[in-house]
Amino acid sequence: MNVLLSERPIGIQKIAVQVLITIFVTVIFLGEGLCFWGKTESAVVSAPIYGTDLQIQNENGYKSSVKEVREKLWKISLARRYGNVHKYFVKDGVVHIRMTKYLGGNPIRLNIVEINPSVNPDVKITPLVAGDKLAKKATVVSMSRKNSAFVAINGSYFKPQTGVPLGILMIDKKILTGPIYDRVALGITDDGFKMARVSLNAKLNYLGRELKVNNINQPRTLCTDVLIYTPEWGNISPATPKYGIQIAVSDGKIISKSLSPVAIPQNGFVISAPQSKVKDFLAEEQTKTKIMNKISSPQITLDVKTNPDWDDVNHIIGGGPFLVKDGNIYVDYIEEKFKPIAGRNPRTAIGYTKEGNFIMVTIDGREQKSVGAGLFELAKIMKSFECLYAMNLDGGGSSTMQVNGQVVNTPSVKGGIAVSNSLALVEVPSVADTVIASVEK
Q: What is the mean pLDDT of residues 28-33?
A: 44
Whether 243 and 274 have beta carbons less than 8 Å apart is answered as: yes
- HSE, CB side, 13 Å, CA atoms: give it for residue 280: 7
- HSE, CB side, 13 Å, CA atoms: give it for residue 12: 9
Provide the 10 A C-beta neighbour count for residue 313.
Answer: 20
* Reported pTM: 0.84
Q: What is the mean pLDDT of residues 41-62?
A: 46
Q: What is the largest CA-CA distance in the chain?
A: 82
Q: pLDDT confidence of 67, banded at 50, 70, 90?
A: confident
| Rounded-to-integer distance, Cα 309 and Cα 316, Å | 12
24: pLDDT strictly greater than 60: no
160: pLDDT strictly greater than 50: yes
| Rounded-to-integer distance, Cα 188 and Cα 125, Å | 8
pLDDT, tens only, 194-243: 999 999 999 999 999 999 999 999 999 899 999 999 999 999 999 999 99
Which residue in 97, 101, 108 sits closest to 75, CA to CA? 97
Close Cβ partners of 421 (under 8 Å, ≥ 6 residues apart): 127, 128, 129, 130, 143, 154, 155, 156, 158, 165, 169, 317
Whether 349 and 391 have beta carbons less than 8 Å apart is answered as: yes
> What is the predicted pLDDT for the residue at 72?
94
Whether 323 and 349 have beta carbons less than 8 Å apart is answered as: yes
Q: What is the mean pLDDT of residues 285-302?
A: 64
Highest mean pLDDT among 65-69, 370-374, 429-433: 370-374
CATH architecture of 200-304: Sandwich (2.60)
Q: pLDDT confidence of 4, banded at 50, 70, 90?
A: very low
Could you state, in order of their start, the residue ranges of all structural domains in the chain? 2-84, 88-198+310-427, 200-304
Close Cβ partners of 281 (under 8 Å, ≥ 6 residues apart): 204, 206, 209, 210, 211
Whether 158 and 138 have beta carbons less than 8 Å apart is answered as: no
Rg over alpha carbons for the chain, rounded to the nearest Å, is 25
| Rounded-to-integer distance, Cα 38 and Cα 355, Å | 11
41: pLDDT strictly greater than 80: no
| Rounded-to-integer distance, Cα 115 and Cα 107, Å | 26
pLDDT, tens only, 108-139: 999 999 999 999 999 999 999 999 999 999 99
Which residue in 412, 338, 411, 346 sits closest to 374, CA to CA? 346
